[in-house]
């Protein structure tokens, strides 16, 4: 067992941290208030090689491991959870299934521009009537010769509208349930593919979340990922890895909140001394740090498994469940430590608190994680 | 005897408040959050119906009628919490935006001279335009530590000169008057404190900014600045003699604290109203969306029961604190317990609601807003930690232990 960070990992952390502090942090509050997704930040991430960290150099990636990607997610989330969501959807939800299930030709066509950051990616599974219960999605894919006709609607799609490349799940036969689900790569601009309502959210407000509308969209067979009926498996496998990303994001939010709370507690004086002198505050900080450390271990263990042969499904669920609950608690306590100031938009902790909530919900709500974990235990 | 039944008048009061909350407050709640203000139409409707806010007593009949001190069986505290729960249920931001003396009411009613009560509470009687009173205690460097305020009051011919800054003052900018706490000499601690009635437009008094907040956005939270602000002698709350009577401890500070004994249960009741609203919204959506069978409904049912239990427990604490206040028993401990508990419960219940609702809850949904609103109930009127300090002091004082 070895808990030290390799030189490459340390380098990645320092590089992303530097970028995050210098270029991402300064505008984060304003972007949040204006609900503004800033594409130039994505382009900066592309320039730094963050948009394709775990993919082979052959396809424009950095050829690094998933741990490196998780480090980037964590460091970004410490200052701006929204940007980490943008990267998370791009890398683990959109690029990952293409890398894993795509043909060489598909990888060249779709993965390379994604990895190089020339295209922004999104993942479209959720529908108004099918969230946690993804097997019963309604979007139809009807085979017509060499193409599929896609009809239906997706909702809550991160990077929706802004993204160029969408991994979309549709069913070739609703009566088959999960066995009918099939994955496709749909590109922005395809006739019949449009965007619906933009969704206003409590947190991660500077990442876009939008509805997608498919009206007789002709998708060539060359854009199908895997075989007909393999889509559900692809979606679930994608979410297993994606959960590590959410765990890292939650970890980063919690760390950002703790860091802010410690600095504030040392500097804020009441009753003639820093509030950090009060045991009520000290114990809060101790509990926050302990939960964060546990989240960190769960998260890095899960991604270590992913890097070393897989089988990380349950570990990822545990990491996501625990780290997101921790983020919520830690951010809420950070607001408390800031007192009235924490409630204003002048300090980042209220944003951390709003951002933390979604980590308990997406990529499988925490209830779904509990189902995954308990099923594995009771098998 | 223990009796939780409400009198017919109390029932009626509650029904009226509920109808107002549902019919007038709720329709404006989401818009008010968006525009970070109370819509004019809302304020006008409240005025037309004669609904105002006086946190010392019953919102509904703004404090003016208590200007004379008729002896009678007091029910003001109990009525106050019943009404506060309903308007908190309606919308907490809009509740605090209701015209009336608000937090400023209790100190004037408790300590004001007859002339001050007549002038500053009486002005709300039959008012045509919305008007507010406010309570300005907190300063940038003095939040929990209320004895550490630095706003200075210097005696001059015919009055006082105030200098200093106040922050987080609810309705402070728009208020017709603020009760402003200041000190004649910081080294005297609490004994040096005085409270002044400062009218809007007094030279040297300005509202420097309105704070943007995570929640409770319909309610104005102001920063105030006093620069050589002259306040005449007659605006020293209660008159100087009040501050010289030391037998019961320093008056200025005592007023500040007594105010809290009255207002904390009311604030707690609002927090509980928020929790009840979140619970009801959650229940409604679950009823629509899920068959009452199956695994999910099973785990949800347990959650719903827990939410409900917490709300009921909070209500018991709130009612007890209010009852003690009405019968004239010391109720600081109960007031603090109710506030600490209800503030926490409201956050927990809203969080559970969001959890059950999943994504529906976090996008443009009232529960999302309530979750952002309720966090401050853990902070203002004394943070959760400060409530615990108050409670601990009362508990240990009996054993001669100072904490
Ligand atoms: C900001 C945001 C970004 C998102 N980004 C994407 C994206 O990029 N791509 C994408 O495809 N989706 C995305 N989603 C969708 C998200 O992954 C789903 O919302 C989530 O999986 C839950 O589905 P649902 O909304 O239908 O909720 P529901 O499935 O309706 O769940 C509602 C509640 O019921 C609970 N529940 C459901 N079933 C059970 C059960 N069997 N036992 C116990 N509890 C249960 C859930 O835990 C939840 O609390 C995003 C959502 C949001 C809010
Ligand atoms: C929306 C809003 C409306 C408000 N309205 C009003 C108003 O109308 N009038 C008014 O006068 N004020 C008002 N306030 C101010 C409010 O009462 C203060 O914010 C509150 O008292 C806390 O003070 P602070 O913000 O300075 O926090 P601090 O006192 O700096 O507290 C910071 C943290 O330290 C903790 N802490 C402090 N001392 C101790 C201790 N001894 N032991 C353990 N922990 C401690 C606190 O619990 C908190 O967690 C309002 C605030 C808000 C946010």
CA of B144 to the centre of ligand 2 (A): 5
The pLDDT of residue B293 is 54
For ligand 1, which residues put their CB under 6 angstroms from it? Answer: A 89, 93, 122-126, 131-133, 156-158, 201, 204, 209, 358, 361-365, 367-368, 371; B 295-296, 299, 355-356, 358-359, 362
CA B360–ligand 1 middle distance (angstroms): 9
Q: Indicate yes or no: CB of A357 within 8 angstroms of CB of B138.
A: no
Q: Which atom of ligand 1 is nearest to the CA of A367?
A: 47
Q: Which residues contact A313 (CB under 8 A, 6 or more apart)?
A: A240, A372, A376
Q: How many CB atoms lie within 10 A of CB A95?
A: 30
Which residues of chain B are within 8 Å of residue A267 when distances are taken between CB atoms? none
CA distance B301 to B295: 10
d(CA A342, ligand 1 centre) in Å: 29
pLDDT given at position B71: 46
C-alpha closest to that of A26 among A206, A266, A263, A267 = A206
Q: Is B36 a catalytic residue?
A: no
Contact A109, A50 (CB under 8 A): no
The pLDDT of residue B252 is: 62
Of B86, B223, B368, B381, the catalytic one is: B381
Check if the beta carbon of residue A233 is closer than 8 Å to that of residue A183.
no
Phi/psi at A94 (nearest 5 deg)? -95, -50
Among candidates B143, B296, B375 on the partner chain, residue whose Cβ is nearest the Cβ of A335? B375
Name which of B358, B378, B384, B392 to mutate to probe chain A: the one with the most chain A Cβ atoms within 10 A of its Cβ.
B358
State the CB neighbour count (10 A cutoff) for residue A301: 16
Size of interface A-B (CB pairs under 8 A): 98
Q: Which of B283, B296, B354, B362 to mutate to test the pocket of ligand 1 (most atoms within 8 A of CB)?
A: B296
The string of pLDDT tens digits covering residues B49-97 is: 888 887 654 333 333 344 444 445 688 889 999 999 999 999 999 999 9
pLDDT 10s digits, B362-390: 888 899 999 999 999 999 988 888 888 88
**Distance from C-alpha of B347 to C-alpha of B360, rounded to nearest angstrom:** 18
Residue B152 contacts A where some CB pair is shorter than 8 Å:
no
DSSP state of B98: S
End-to-end CA distance of chain A: 29
Q: Which of B362, B372, B388 to mutate to test the interface with A (most CBs of A within 10 A)?
A: B362
Cβ distance B214 to A353 less than 8 Å, yes or no, reads yes
- Region of residue B396 (phi > 0: left; psi between -120 and 50: alpha; otherwise: beta): alpha
Pairwise CA distance, residues B180 & B162, whole Å: 9
**Closest to A357 in 3D by CA, of A340, A338, A335:** A335
A129 at the B interface (CB within 8 A)? no
Which residues of chain A have a CB within 8 Å of the CB of B213? Answer: 343-345, 350
pLDDT of residue B88: 97
In chain B, which residues have their Cβ closer than 8 Å to the Cβ of A200? 363-364
Give the pLDDT of residue B66.
Answer: 45
Q: Are B363 and A199 inside 8 Å of each other by CB?
A: yes
**Which residues in B60-158 belong to E strands, given as ranges?**
133-136, 152-156
Environment class of A25 (CB within 10 Å of its CB; exposed 0-12, middle 13-18, buried 19+): middle
The answer to whether B315 touches B345, Cβ cutoff 8 Å, is no
Q: Indicate which ligand has the atom closest to the C-alpha of B169.
A: 2
- Which residue ranges in chain A fall short of pLDDT 70? none
The per-residue pLDDT for B64 is: 39
B199 CA to chain A: closest CA distance, Å?
25
Contacts of A346 in chain B (CB under 8 A): 211-212
Q: Which of B301, B352, B359 to mutate to test the interface with A (most CBs of A within 10 A)?
A: B359
- For residue B371, the distance in angstroms to the closest alpha carbon of chain A comes to 9
Q: Does B110 touch chain A (CB under 8 A)?
A: no
User: Given CB atoms, is B376 within the 8 Å cutoff of chain A?
Assistant: yes
> From ligand 1's centre to the CA of A250, what distance in Å?
17
- Give me the pLDDT at residue B67, please: 42
Question: Nearest-CA residue of chain A relative to B170?
Answer: A340
Question: Which among B143, B359, B364 is the nearest to A339, CB-wise?
Answer: B143
pLDDT averaged per 10 residues, chain B (length 403) = 88 95 97 96 93 60 42 79 96 96 89 94 91 96 92 97 98 97 90 94 98 97 98 94 64 69 91 97 81 64 92 96 91 94 96 87 88 95 88 86 79
- Report CA(B357)–ligand 1 centroid distance (Å): 9
Closest chain B CA to residue A349: B214
3-state SS track over A219-236: EEHHHEECCCCCHHHHHH
Phi/psi for B285 (5° steps) reads: -70, -40
Q: What is the pLDDT of residues A240-269, one digit of tens each?
A: 889 999 999 999 999 999 999 999 999 999
Rg for chain A, CA atoms, rounded: 21
pTM of the model: 0.90
- The predicted structure's pLDDT at residue B50: 86
Which chain A residue is nearest to residue B299, measuring alpha carbons?
A: A367
Rounded CA-CA distance B367/B350 in Å is 7
A339 lines ligand 2 (CB under 6 A): yes
Cβ <8 Å between B143 and A280: no
DSSP 8-state secondary structure symbol assigned to residue B24:
I
Q: In chain B, what residues touch A362 (CB-CB under 8 Å)?
A: 359
Of B221, B358, B364, the CB nearest to A365: B358
3-class SS of residue A270: strand
């Amino acid at each position: 067992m070895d808990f030290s960070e390799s030189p490459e990992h340390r380098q990645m952390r320092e590089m992303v941290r530097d970028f995050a502090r210098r270029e991402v942090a300064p505008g984060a509050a304003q972007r949040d208030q204006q609900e503004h997704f800033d594409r130039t930040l994505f382009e900066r991430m592309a320039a730094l090689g963050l948009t394709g960290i775990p993919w082979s150099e052959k396809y424009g990636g950095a050829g690094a491991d998933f741990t490196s990607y998780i480090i980037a997610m964590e460091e970004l989330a410490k200052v701006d959870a929204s940007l980490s969501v943008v990267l998370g959807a791009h890398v683990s939800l959109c690029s990952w299934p293409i890398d894993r299930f795509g043909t060489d030709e598909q990888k060249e066509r779709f993965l390379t521009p994604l990895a190089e950051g020339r295209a922004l990616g999104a993942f479209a599974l959720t529908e108004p009537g099918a969230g946690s219960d993804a097997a019963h999605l309604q979007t139809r894919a009807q085979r017509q010769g060499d193409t599929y006709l896609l009809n239906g609607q997706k909702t809550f799609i991160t990077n929706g509208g802004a993204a160029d490349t969408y991994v979309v799940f549709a069913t070739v036969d609703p009566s088959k349930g999960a066995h009918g689900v099939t994955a496709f790569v749909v590109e922005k601009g395809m006739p019949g593919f449009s965007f619906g309502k933009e969704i206003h959210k409590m947190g991660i407000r500077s990442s876009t979340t939008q509805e997608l509308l498919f009206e007789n969209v002709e998708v060539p067979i060359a854009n199908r990922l895997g075989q007909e009926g393999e889509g559900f498996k692809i979606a679930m496998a994608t979410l297993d890895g994606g959960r590590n990303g959410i765990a890292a994001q939650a970890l980063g939010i919690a760390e950002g909140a703790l860091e802010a709370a410690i600095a504030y507690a040392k500097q804020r004086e009441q009753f003639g001394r820093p509030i950090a002198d009060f045991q009520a505050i000290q114990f809060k900080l101790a509990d926050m740090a302990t939960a964060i450390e546990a989240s960190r271990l769960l998260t890095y263990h899960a991604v270590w498994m992913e890097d070393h042969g897989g089988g990380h499904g349950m570990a990822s669920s545990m990491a996501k469940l625990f780290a997101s609950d921790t983020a919520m608690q830690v951010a809420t306590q950070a607001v408390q430590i800031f007192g009235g100031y924490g409630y204003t938009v002048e300090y980042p902790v209220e944003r951390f608190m709003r951002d933390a909530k979604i980590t308990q919900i997406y990529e499988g709500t925490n209830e779904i994680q509990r189902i995954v974990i308990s099923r594995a235990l009771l098998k | 005897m223990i009796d939780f039944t409400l009198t017919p008048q109390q029932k009626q009061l509650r029904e009226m408040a509920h109808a107002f909350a549902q019919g007038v407050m709720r329709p404006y709640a989401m818009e008010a959050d968006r525009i970070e203000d109370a819509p004019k139409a809302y304020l006008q409707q409240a005025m037309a119906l004669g609904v105002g806010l006086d946190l010392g007593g019953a919102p509904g009949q703004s404090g003016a009628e208590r200007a004379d001190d008729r002896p009678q069986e007091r029910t003001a505290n109990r009525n106050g919490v019943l009404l506060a729960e309903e308007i908190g249920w309606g919308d907490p931001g809009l509740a605090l935006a209701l015209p009336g003396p608000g937090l400023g009411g209790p100190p004037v009613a408790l300590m004001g001279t007859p002339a001050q009560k007549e002038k500053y509470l009486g002005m709300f009687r039959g008012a045509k335009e919305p008007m507010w009173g406010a309570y300005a205690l907190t300063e940038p460097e003095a939040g929990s530590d209320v004895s550490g305020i630095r706003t200075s009051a210097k005696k001059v011919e015919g009055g006082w000169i105030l200098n200093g800054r106040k922050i987080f003052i609810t309705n402070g900018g728009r208020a017709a008057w603020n009760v402003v706490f200041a000190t004649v000499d910081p080294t005297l601690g609490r004994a040096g404190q005085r409270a002044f009635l400062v009218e809007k437009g007094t030279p040297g008094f300005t509202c420097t900014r309105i704070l943007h907040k995570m929640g409770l956005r319909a309610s104005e939270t102001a920063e105030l600045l006093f620069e050589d602000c002259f306040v005449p002698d007659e605006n020293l709350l209660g008159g100087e003699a009040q501050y010289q009577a030391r037998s019961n401890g320093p008056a200025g500070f005592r007023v500040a604290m007594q105010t809290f004994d009255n207002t904390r249960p009311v604030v707690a009741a609002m927090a509980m109203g928020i929790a009840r609203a979140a619970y009801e919204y959650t229940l409604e959506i679950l009823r629509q969306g899920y068959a009452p069978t199956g695994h999910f409904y099973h785990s949800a049912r347990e959650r719903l029961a827990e939410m409900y239990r917490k709300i009921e427990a909070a209500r018991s604490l709130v009612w007890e604190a209010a009852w003690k206040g009405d019968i004239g028993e010391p109720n600081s401990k109960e007031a603090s317990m109710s506030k600490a508990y209800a503030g926490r419960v409201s956050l927990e219940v809203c969080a559970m609601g969001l959890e059950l609702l999943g994504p529906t809850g976090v996008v443009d949904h009232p529960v999302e807003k309530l979750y952002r609103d309720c966090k401050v109930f853990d902070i203002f009127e004394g943070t959760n930690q400060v409530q615990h300090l108050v409670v601990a002091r009362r508990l240990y004082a009996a054993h001669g232990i100072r904490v």
